[in-house]
Amino acid sequence: MTLKSVPKIKHTESDNFFLLAGPCAIESEEMALRIAERILNITNKLEIPFIFKGSFKKANRSRIDSFIGIGDEKALKILKKVSDTFDIPTVTDIHEVADANMAADFVDVLQIPAFLVRQTDLVVAAAQTGKVVNLKKGQFMSPESMKHAVQKVKDSGSTKAWITDRGTMFGYQDMIVDFRGIPTMREYAPTILDVTHSLQQPNQSAGVTGGRPDMIETIARAGIVNHVDGLFIETHFDPANAKSDGANMLHLDNLEKLLTNLVAIRKTVQSL
């Protein structure tokens, strides 16, 4: 599939990587609009194709008292308002078969979480909506195994599949990115590097995932050098007080410098 298949996406002729970015979860309308507007201004300036990301529900939390969401329909309506207000596409993750058609009425890309990418019914339901399906590689899966997830989308009558690498488990409490997998997965579908989730440190004794946001630029640079088609970055204006995944999110104030550097690296790599 081509990037032009995504409704409302801009700057597809710029030869830049594309960007899925936004908060981990939709916390309120005000925060979603504030973050989306800031990212849009930056990506317009740098001519980066941009899709706003926000989870309408967080179903795979470590603890039962962790933030799950503000209500499914309420959060999905906020995503739709972001799209309508700024004329940009949006992406959200789904967790159950019933979520597919519900979310498809509000967003342009449906994302399959890494823990659920082998759930055939979920992948098929997402593909049958006709939306782009972003398949996050399981932390427990090899790059080669992702061809089967992509094939499930194709066998469901769609060619609109992406793969996102979000790191591989290293021991019990760390993640690594094996960049050897990028060219392998690009043979199956456009491939995105999830920079921020790749820096998670899960399974902490407190039941709250840690992270290494200081390594965001290091991982993102390596992804660009290794020809990823897109980047996935969670960002927030106050990560310390974000309701989900604040430990590995990029502060919104640091996004423009990061993307400026990455665009420059991309141009250099493309010229070689």
Give the model confidence (pLDDT) of 100-134 as tens digits: 999 999 999 999 999 999 999 999 999 999 999 99
The stretch 168-174 carries a mean pLDDT of: 90
Q: What is the pLDDT of residue 127?
A: 98
Query: Tens digit of pLDDT for each residue in 34-74?
Result: 999 999 999 999 999 999 999 999 887 777 878 889 999 99
Q: Is the pLDDT of residue 245 over 90?
A: no
The stretch 203-221 carries a mean pLDDT of: 82
Average pLDDT score over the chain:
94
The stretch 211-229 carries a mean pLDDT of: 94
Q: What is the pLDDT of residue 209?
A: 72
By residue count, the chain amounts to 272
Residue 28: pLDDT band by 50, 70, 90 thresholds?
very high
**Long-range contacts, stretch 91-97, CB < 8 angstroms, 24+ apart:** 91/20, 91/51, 91/52, 91/53, 91/134, 92/53, 92/54, 92/55, 92/56, 93/55, 93/136, 94/122, 94/126, 95/57, 95/59, 95/60, 95/122, 96/59, 96/122, 97/121, 97/122, 97/125
More confident residue, 98 or 66: 98
Question: Residue 137: phi, psi to the nearest 5?
Answer: -65, 130
Tell me the CA distances in angstroms from 245 to 6, 87, 88, 201, 238, one per residue in order: 27, 27, 24, 11, 11
User: Buried b vs exposed e over 226-265: b needs ≥16 C-beta within 10 Å?
Assistant: bebbbbbbbbbeebeebbbbbbbbbebeebbebbeebbeb
Q: Is the pLDDT of residue 244 over 90?
A: no
pTM, to two decimals: 0.94
261: CB partners within 8 A, 6+ apart: 217, 221
Joined tokens for residue 40: 């849009």
Q: What is the pLDDT of residue 118?
A: 97
Q: Is the pLDDT of residue 205 over 70?
A: no
Q: Is the pLDDT of residue 81 over 70?
A: yes
Q: What is the pLDDT of residue 101?
A: 98
